[in-house]
Structure 1
Amino acid sequence: MSVFDHPEFDKHEHVAFCHDEASGLKAIIAIHNTNLGPSLGGCRMWPYLNSAEALTDVLRLSKGMTYKAAMANLKQGGGKSVIIGDPRKHKTEDMMKAMGRFVESLNGRYITAEDSGISVENLQAMATQSSHIAGTSAQYNALGETPTGNPAPSTAYGVFVGLKATVQHVLKSDLNGVKVAIQGMGHVGYRLAKQLHAEGAKLYVADIYPEGLAKAEAELGATIVAPEEILTLPLDVIAPCAMGSSINDESLPDIQAKIIAGAANNQLARESLGTALKEKGIVYAPDYVINAGGIIDIYHQKLDDSSDDAMRAHIAKIGETLVEVYERAEAENRATNLVANQIAEERFTTQG
């Protein structure tokens, strides 16, 4: 199948493939749209079953970054990269350097950063080969922590703010006593859990790796749930914070929560599921709106005149943006993801 015929191809400007035999690197970079500025999006390393699965992911993720930047009012375009391989088994410094050379070959049209399976140290190795690597160092931190370059704290804070605003809008309640199921206890999911716990939420957590689960149980009083059950619980909120497409034709019938609001990209396996959620009375926080804290963080790190407070205030606007989406969706009787798409497209289809 040609890339142009791929069902997830959506007027992407550039899709590049790289195989570095010496390091074992097999990677794809997708640039979706650069009308508002150079494309930016993290590099993900994941044990994809095959290159077709990796291509599907990078096409969807890069498109999502365009919409995310537009909804966050950033002068940036959308792009993404993926590396095929298990980050716990196959990742080497030579591979990361080869990835840096791959990014450099696009001459600044694509800027990469951290995503699943990639650390700040990995980015620093890439940066020895490319000047288009973000997140290797940082000036600001939205939560007052020591800046490291890892955008996960900002992503988690943005999801927390967005989830809180959604609960207030839908349930007319604060977070005290609200039952939240978090799918994924990684860098973002655990930080989100800590902030929710501090506000009195009751937590239910699942992950394919045990480390974060034990910590959440011991420190946050969370209830550990099997991964196959986490979306089916009769709770208030589901927060997908792992891989995408968790909301699909198989999982949808068993969802009992009133709200879906989490950090994962591409939570809906297909756009029409947004309408299906609406028909079930479930309010969906469009993923690229609620999880924009990370890209806002990276944007502010490039500004010499920003600050911790300025970055935090920008991320906090995610809650206001979501309420704008919800109110417009209610007024037009449309799914929230379709309304968010329309708002974003109005912003990025006109040259910035």
Structure 2
Amino acid sequence: MELFKYMETYDYEQVVVCQDKQSGLKAIIAIHDTTLGPALGGTRMWMYDTEEAAFEDALRLAKGMTYKNAAAGLNLGGGKTVIIGDPRKDKNEEMFRAFGRYIQGLNGRYITAEDVGTTVEDMDLIHEETDYVTGISPAFGSSGNPSPVTAYGVYVGVKASAKEAFGSDSLEGKTIAVQGVGNVAFNLCKHLHEEGANLIVTDINKEAVQRAVDAFGAKAVDVNDIYGVDCDIYAPCALGAVINDETIPQLKAKVVAGAANNQLKEDRHGDQLNEMGIVYAPDYVINAGGVINVADELYGYNQERAMKKVETIYDNLTKVYDIARRDNIPTYLAADRLAEERIERMRKSRSQFLQNGHHILSRR
């Protein structure tokens, strides 16, 4: 892998390789952009086939966090860590404490959190060595389980998307097909039900489906049938890549808005939704409630303040739809443009500030 060429092409700032022989730590910290503030992004632990695959994943995820944090209106840049190893058997206290010391050595340029393969308990071990970690136990002043907050953000995002598609953000009487009813989606269903929406649900976990049926009077369908049901809004809240060549022809919904990551299998599928007149809520904008929530921990967690910030997901999506109309582009591109324009404004502002400071000093 031509690492410097890749970093230059996509304008990465820093990659840190961390090794601790005693604990078995092999970690890669990728910092993409700190224009808006220190890089925030979780630590993923995974059995990668090759070291190159681990580098690529860290870099890809770090860039994604730059866009997610920028679009969410956070004063944070994007970064990510991957630890190479099996999260079921390779973890130990020494590993995460050693990793915490590496984070501390970055002196605040990078702040971590939990991700795939890591837990609150792992973050607590990192916290033994550094304060640059979020998502720790509530006993240490953390926000706790992020699922309800993420769900609330998706809910307000669904409302913003309904406003774009139907002219009103009311969900009363709307039929919403929810794919996956895990922790986030169950909380989402609660908000939708309370507003008077009719729910259709599916999940590979039959108990989760029955729970939603019992709690919200939802209609259950087979996992393969959710794409083609008669509904106003399709909310993917499970796997990624569910918007693809097989599913798009089945869609009857006017809106695609859900909690799942990486919903488009390829960018061209976002183009297809746009051509069909379907309003697509870009996933990293609508599901930003979790990162908004943990980011509040950096100021001393205040739930009321965090929830008010999560409510701005409505406004952020409205901006995305406005940009899509303004520039005549699909919404997935408009979301990128929203993030890029914010970063560019900050770069120009900082550059102007430095120039003004130079002029003042030169006059002296």
TM-score by length of 2: 0.80
2:71 maps to amino acid: M
Identity among equivalent pairs (%): 47
2:273 to 277, 281, 299: 277
SS in 2 for 1:231: helix
Q: Verify the 8 A CA contact 2:134 2:142 in the aligned structure 1.
A: no
Look up the match of 2:355.
none
Q: Does structure 1 residue 323 correspond to structure 2 residue 328?
A: no
1:61 maps to amino acid: L
Look up the match of 2:258.
262
SS in 2 for 1:31: strand
Distance 1:42 1:177, change over 3 A: farther
Look up the match of 1:114.
114
Look up the match of 1:78.
78
SS in 1 for 2:112: strand
Distance 1:327 1:24, change over 3 A: same
CA offsets per residue over residues 118-172 of structure 1, 9 Å max, x none?
Answer: 3322311222233321121559xxxxxx964333322211111111121133123
Q: CA offset at residue 278 of structure 1?
A: 0.2
Look up the match of 1:142.
none
Q: Verify the 8 A CA contact 1:181 1:237 in the aligned structure 2.
A: yes
**Higher percent of residues as helix:** 2
1:152 maps to amino acid: S
Q: Verify the 8 A CA contact 1:120 1:150 in the aligned structure 2.
A: no
In the TM superposition, 1:133-172 aligns within 5 A as 133-137=133-137, 148-172=143-167
1:270 maps to amino acid: E
Distance 1:204 1:253 in 2: 19
* Structure 1 unaligned blocks of 5 or more: 140-145
Distance 1:59 1:251, change over 3 A: farther
Q: Verify the 8 A CA contact 2:143 2:297 in the aligned structure 1.
A: no
Distance 1:223 1:50 in 2: 44
Look up the match of 2:10.
10
Q: Does structure 1 residue 34 correspond to structure 2 residue 42?
A: no
Look up the match of 1:191.
187
SS in 1 for 2:31: strand
Q: Which protein, 1 or 2, shows the higher relative CO under an 8 Å CA cutoff with sep ≥ 6? A: 1
Distance 1:4 1:205, change over 3 A: farther
Q: CA offset at residue 232 of structure 1?
A: 4.0
1:308 maps to amino acid: Q
Q: Which moved more, 1:31-40 or 1:45-54?
A: 45-54
Q: Verify the 8 A CA contact 1:64 1:266 in the aligned structure 2.
A: no
Distance 1:308 1:291 in 2: 18
1:310 to 273, 283, 305: 305
CA offsets per residue over residues 66-103 of structure 1, 9 Å max, x none?
Answer: 1222222221101123445665x346443544543554
Distance 1:44 1:256 in 2: 36
1:215 maps to amino acid: R
SS in 2 for 1:132: coil
Look up the match of 2:132.
132
Q: CA offset at residue 310 of structure 1?
A: 2.7
Q: Verify the 8 A CA contact 2:319 2:338 in the aligned structure 1.
A: no
Distance 1:51 1:236 in 2: 44
